[in-house]
């Protein structure tokens, strides 16, 4: 069986083994595949392909008559024309649930960085500011205590609930919106409508999928409903935020800070307005990427292929 991984570098930059996939056949791994034509050339006679962000379009599917199974090395699968794949009888699988702990951890890490600016203060110490200080301590930003404050979570699935549990352990009150109430969720948060969440939250963290109804859910109108000085965290999808409206809110002081791991176009473009926003901490879409989480991607991806070959496929998104 010929198996091709079209863009394996982000999943495995060298600290993992492809052995779980190699157990099923001849595996060819490409670090990156940068065009539709290149994808077609590389998988023309492949039976199984794995992709992370390489587009699998109708044209790619049509050019690869041997293709039997597509597995996405991620949870999101919009990079595959999965409807057309279904028409062609090709199941498409994804990897759900692998990054819950990792993403919730970074959401809180971004919030804590905003509260203490630990990275900035460490840098100033190494630059000599502390040794030259008149007083025994100093701080360059307001320091924020989270205990007693309210965190509003938009999207209360697995990652949202995990974030809420951490916040609750820090003494925060948690409000939730965007998912059906569950007993597990009700033990962590109070489910409320969006208007109340926006008005009452000191911090808002986004954990919802990017659907038409959630696109730019954070915009000048919803920002206007937020508390003055509120904080926004986004480790979900960049398209949830109108980036110019967020920039304006940060620069005007309406919002105190934002902690973002995602933007609307990635890699970020030099003309993204958030690069010039005040008090905006950004990381390069790394919430999902700890080694432990990537090991789970590899393991679940192998499970996806094993189940498909056994005739009982799992994690199929176009069934």
Q: How far apart are CA 272 and CA 257, in angstroms?
A: 17
Say how far residue 160 (Cα) sits from the centre of its chain: 12
* Residue 24 tokens, joined: 């099923």
Q: How far apart are CA 233 and CA 166, in angstroms?
A: 14
Which residues, including other chains, have CB under 8 Å from residue 55's CB and lie 6 or more apart?
Answer: 36, 39, 79, 80
Sign of CA dihedral 262, 265, 268, 272: negative
Q: E-assigned strands of 134-201? A: 150-154, 173-177, 190-191
* Residue 193 tokens, joined: 């409508």
- Angle at the Cα of 188 from the Cα atoms of 182 and 190, rounded to 5 degrees: 75
Which residues are tagged catalytic? 237, 266, 285
């Amino acid at each position: 069986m010929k198996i091709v991984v079209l863009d394996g570098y982000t999943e495995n930059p060298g600290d993992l083994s492809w052995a779980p996939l190699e157990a099923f056949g001849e595996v060819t791994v490409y670090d990156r595949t940068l065009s539709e034509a290149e994808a077609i050339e590389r998988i023309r006679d492949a039976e199984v392909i794995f992709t992370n962000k390489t587009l699998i379009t109708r044209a790619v599917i049509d050019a690869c008559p041997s293709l039997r199974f597509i597995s996405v090395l991620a949870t999101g699968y919009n990079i595959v024309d999965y409807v057309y794949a279904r028409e062609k009888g090709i199941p498409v699988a994804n990897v759900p649930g692998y990054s819950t702990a990792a993403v919730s951890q970074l959401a809180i890490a971004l919030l804590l960085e905003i509260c203490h600016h630990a990275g900035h203060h460490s840098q100033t110490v190494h630059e000599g500011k502390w040794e030259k200080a008149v007083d025994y301590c100093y701080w360059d930003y307001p320091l924020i205590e989270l205990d007693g404050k309210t965190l509003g979570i938009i999207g209360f699935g697995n990652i949202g609930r995990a974030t809420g549990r951490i916040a609750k352990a820090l003494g925060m009150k948690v409000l939730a919106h965007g998912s059906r109430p569950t007993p597990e969720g009700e033990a962590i948060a109070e489910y409320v409508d969006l208007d109340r969440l926006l008005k009452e939250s000191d911090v808002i963290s986004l954990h919802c999928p990017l659907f038409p109804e959630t696109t730019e859910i954070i915009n000048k109108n919803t920002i206007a409903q937020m508390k003055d000085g509120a904080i926004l965290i986004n480790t979900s999808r960049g398209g949830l935020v109108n980036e110019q409206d967020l920039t304006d809110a940060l620069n005007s002081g309406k919002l105190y800070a934002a902690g973002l791991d995602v933007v609307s176009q990635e890699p970020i473009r030099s003309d993204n307005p958030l690069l010039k926003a005040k008090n905006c901490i950004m990381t390069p879409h790394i919430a999902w990427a700890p080694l432990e989480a990537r090991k789970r991607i590899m393991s679940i991806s192998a499970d996806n292929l094993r189940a498909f070959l056994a005739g009982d496929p799992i994690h199929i998104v176009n069934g």
